[in-house]
Amino acid sequence: MKVYMMDNRIILVGKAWEIRAKLREYQQKYDSVSNWIESHTTNSPTTKKS
């Protein structure tokens, strides 16, 4: 599972069940995807593997 976080978007790459699990995980921290993006705004793309 990979999570690409860019200035104005988040791209989730993985199997459907992995993406659903990751979205449930972030649902505990953020009210919406917009809040998630705003909290991780950076000048350069980032990749996170899990």
Per-domain residue ranges for the chain?
Answer: 2-49
* Predicted TM-score of the model (pTM): 0.68
**Rounded Cα gap, residues 47 and 4, in angstroms:** 5
Check residues 45 and 13 and name the one with the higher pLDDT: 13
Given this model, what pLDDT does residue 48 score? 64
Residue 24 has pLDDT above 90, yes or no: yes
Given this model, what pLDDT does residue 50 score? 61
Query: Looking at residues 11-31, what average pLDDT do you find?
Result: 94
Sheet holding 46-49, edge to edge: 10-13, 2-5, 46-49
Given this model, what pLDDT does residue 12 score? 95
What does 1-50 look like in DSSP terms, one character per residue?
A: -EEEE-SS-EEEES-HHHHHHHHHHHHTT-SSHHHHHHHT--SS-EEEE-
